Structure 1
Amino acid sequence: MKAVGFTTSLAITEPASFIDVDIDKPVPAGHDLLVKVRAVSVNPVDFKIRQNSAKDTVLDQPKIIGWDAVGVVEAVGSDVSLFSVGDAVYYAGDITRSGSNADYQLIDERIVGRKPATLSDEAAAAMPLTALTAWEIFFDRMRLSADRDRDKTLLIIGGAGGVGSIAIQLAKKLLGLRVIATASRPETIDWCRQMGADQVVNHRNLVEDVRNAGFRQVDYIVDFVDTNAYWDAMAELIKPQGHIASITGSATPVALNKLKSKSVSFSWELMFTRSTYQTDDMIEQHHILNRVADLLDEGVLQTTITQTLQGLTADTLKQAHAQLESGTTIGKLVISF
C-alpha cells in the first residue's frame, strides 16, 4: 500500500524530509480496526516528531507518522465490538504506533469515534486530536462544569490555532465561560471572534492587554503556545485558587513555586496519555469523540478546517509541514486522499 514517511530527521526543505514508500497492508487483530484512510489533518506534534525522532540516524524502515484521520472500516480484529465493516470513523491515533499518512491504518477501536454524519471527510478530519485535547484539558484535568463555573473567566493563550479554535467553542457553548483569547494579526483576531471569544488580547503584552480589557485577574488559564514563555504572566494574571493547564511541555523546570501563595493548581494535558499507557479508562476517548460528533451534527460546534490540500504524497506532506512550522496557521490544515 502507498504511504509517506521518512528515515531520518531533516529540515522540511530537504528532498528526503518525506519520501513516498510502498509498505505491506496491515492485518487487524484484537481490538484493532483496519481503516481505509480518506483524509488526515496535520498538527504541531507531526512536525515535532519528524524533527526529533530520527536525529543523527537512518532508520531501517520508514517511519510513518500522522494523527487525525477519517476513513472507513475495512476489517476488524477478533475482539472488536464497537464498530463493523463499512462504518465511517474518525480518530486521533496512538503516538506509539504507525500513523495515518498511509492508505490503510490499524487503530484500536477504543480511541475511535463515529464520523460526524453532517461533515465531509475533510471537515471531520480537522477535529479529533484538537477536540480530544481541549475536552480533556477542561473536563478531565481542570474538572470544569457549567453548573459551577458558568460566567467565570478563561484566558486561552493561542486562540487561533487548532486546539485554541475548538477550545473557545467548548468553553463558550458547553461551559458558559467568559473567554479571553490571544491573537495579534487582524485575521487571527477575526477568527477567534468567529469561534466565539468574548475578548481578544495581544499575547505580546499579555498582562497589560488583559487588564486593559477590564480583567485584573482570571479564574482559569490554558496555554497552547509556550509554558515557560508565558509563565510569569500566567502566574500574575491567575486568581487565587485558580487553575492553569498547558499542553506545550517544557524543556526546563517550571517554577511552580510562583503559584504557591495563591494556592493555584497546575495540570499538564497530553492527548496520547490514554493510548500510550493503555489506561483503564482508555475507552473514554471513544465516548468523547462520539459526543463531539453529536455536537457537530447538532450545529453546537463547528469544524475548524481552513485549508485543504489534495493527495497523499511526499510533496503534499512537505507543503503541510512547512505551513505548520511557519507558526501562522489558523485553524486546521487537512489533506484529502
Structure 2
Amino acid sequence: MSHAPTMKAVGLYQYLDISNPESLIDVELEKPQPSGRDLLVRVHAVSVNPVDVKVRSPKSKTEQQPRVLGWDVAGVVEATGPDCTLFQPGDEVYYAGSIERPGGNSEYHLVDERIVGRKPSSLNFAEAAALPLTTLTAWEGLFDRLGISRSPEDNTGKHLLVIGAAGGVGSIAIQLAKHAGLTVIGTASREESADWAKGLGADHIITHYEAFLPQLNAAGIPYADYIFCLNNTDQHWENMAEAVAPQGQICSIVETEGPLNLNLLMGKSAAFNWELMFTRARYQTPDMIKQHELLNETADLVDRGILRTTLTRRLAPINAATLREAHALVESGRTIGKVVLEGF
C-alpha cells in the first residue's frame, strides 16, 4: 500500500506566548497537489511579518489540524494546476499569498498564480522573500488608497509623512515614494532607525513621540499632503488630523483599539483609507491579478537598481526553533527592515 508523500512544515495547535516551545512546532504534513490556477511552490525562503505575530498571539481557541502561518515566500514552481497560464515548473517566484489559506512555512505551498510574481533575478531567495507582503502593502497604500500619482512631475512639492518609516512596509514605502517624486518625511524614534530610513531616501526624520505639525513646520513644510500610518493608529490619530493638508489623504494599515473621531477630518475635507493587502485574494476581486502585475513590476524596479531588498536579518534553517526566534524579534517592535529564514 503506497503512502502519500509528506513534507516538513511548522505549525501550531494552540495559540501561545512565543516563549512557549509549543507555540510553533515542527510537523509532517501531506504534500499538496495543485488544481485550478494554483501553483505548487517548493519553498526556499520565508519572511515573518507583524501579521504572523498577530495571528499566533495567545487566545483560547485550538486547532484540530496544525495551522501553518507565513505570508512571504520565495521559491521555485514545482507543478501547476490545469488552468495556469502565467507560470511553469522551474520558474523562480515570490509572493505573499492569502490569509484564507495555509501559509508558506512548509517545504511546499499552494498559491493562486494571480497573486504571484517572478522573483527579481538580481536577488537570492532570502533577499526576495523579504519583499512581497510589505511591497504589496506599500504599493497599494500609496497608489491605490492614497491615490498618489506614479508620475514624478505630478508630485512636485507634494509631501508624504510615513509613520513608522524603518519597519518592513515603511522601508519599501520610502523607496516607492521617492521614485514617484515625493518629498518624504519619516518618523523614527531611535538613531539606528532614523539612519536606516535616511539611507533609503527619506528627506526628513521627525519623532513620533512629539506633535507632528510643529516638527513639519520647523522643516519648512506647512502640512503633509499624504500620511501613511504604519504604527498605532489610535496613538497618532489626533496628530495625523492636525498634520494632514486640507483635502489631504490619510491611510493606515493598523487596526484601532476603539472608534476614531472622523469629525477631526471634516473641516479639512480630508479622507481616511484602510489598506489590507489580503483583500484582493480574500474576496477574489476582479482586479486580483494586479498583485501579480505589481510584483512583476517591482522585480523590474529591483533588477534596474531602483528598489532594494529590505532584508536585515537572516536565520536558518526554516524550523520551529528559528521561527520562534524570528517571531520574538518581530514581536519586540524594534526590528528594522525584515527578518528572513531560508532552507529546510
Normalised to the residue count of structure 1, the TM-score between the two structures is: 0.97
Deviation at 1:139, TM superposition (A): 1.1
1:111 corresponding residue in structure 2 = 115
Q: Which among 222, 226, 233 is matched to residue 216 of structure 1?
A: 222
Partner of 2:239: 233
Q: Distance in 2 between matches of 1:141 and 1:61?
A: 37
* Distance (Å, rounded) in 2 between the aligned partners of 1:93 and 1:265: 29
Corresponding residue for residue 197 of structure 1: 202
1:198-232 C-alpha deviation (Å, 9 max, x unpaired): 00111101323333323231111110001111000
The equivalent residue for 1:251 is 257
SS at match of 2:314: strand
Partner of 1:101: 105
Q: Of 103, 123, 129, which aligns to 1:125?
A: 129
Separation of aligned partners in 2, 1:81 and 1:215: 48
Distance (Å, rounded) in 2 between the aligned partners of 1:206 and 1:118: 41
Residue type matched to 2:163 in 1? I
Counterpart in the other structure of 2:89: 85
Shift of residue 133, structure 1, vs aligned partner: 0.5
What pairs with 1:59-208 in structure 2 (closer than 5 Å)? 59-145=63-149, 146=151, 147-173=153-179, 175-207=180-212, 208=214
Q: Distance in 2 between matches of 1:127 and 1:257?
A: 36
2:338 matched to 1:332? Answer: yes
Distance (whole Å) between structure 1 residues aligned to residue 227 and residue 68 of structure 2: 34
Taking the aligned partners of 1:238 and 1:295, their CA distance within structure 2 comes to: 30
Once the 2 structures are TM-superposed, how far is the Cα of residue 151 of structure 1 from its aligned partner? 2.9
Cα distance in 1, alignment partners of residues 157 and 85 from structure 2:
41
2:313 equivalent to 1:307: yes
3-state SS in 2 of match to 1:61 = strand
**For residue 11 of structure 1, what is the aligned residue in structure 2?**
17
Count of aligned pairs between the two proteins: 334
SS at 2:264 equivalent: helix
Please give the per-residue CA displacement for 1:234-280, whole angstroms capped at 9, x wherever unaligned: 00011100000011121211111110010001110000000000000
Q: CA deviation at 1:186?
A: 1.0
Report what 2:326 is aligned to: 320
For residues 184 and 228 of structure 1, the distance between their equivalents in structure 2, rounded to whole angstroms, comes to 18
Q: Percent of counterpart pairs with the same letter?
A: 54
Equivalent position amino acid for 1:330 in 2? I
Q: Please tell me the residue identity of whatever aligns with 1:294.
A: D
Please say if 1:272 is aligned against 2:272: no
CA distance in 2, matches of 1:114, 1:262: 42
Shift of 1:156: 0.4
Find the residue that maps to 1:7 and give its secondary structure.
strand
CA distance in 2, matches of 1:228, 1:215: 24
Give unpaired runs (5+ residues) of structure 2: 1-6
Q: Distance in 1 between matches of 2:77 and 2:248?
A: 43
Mapped partners of 1:150, 1:83: distance in 2? 39
Residue 225 of structure 1 aligns to which amino acid in structure 2?
N
Of residues 33, 41, 45, the one that matches 1:35 is 41
When the two chains are superposed, the root-mean-square deviation of aligned CA atoms in Å is 0.9
Alignment partners' CA distance in 1, 2:90 and 2:286: 28
Q: What per-residue deviation string (whole Å, max 9, x for no partner) do you get for residues 162-181 of structure 1?
A: 000000000001x1000000
Residues 201 and 213 in structure 1, CA contact (< 8 A), matched pair in contact too? no
Q: Which amino acid aligns with 1:18?
A: L
Q: TM-score, normalised by structure 2?
A: 0.96
User: Separation in 2 of the partners of 1:151 and 1:308?
Assistant: 38
Distance 2:225 2:106 in 1: 43
SS at structure 1 position matched to 2:30? coil
**Secondary structure at the residue paired with 1:228?**
helix
* Contact 1:159/1:181 (<8 A) preserved: yes
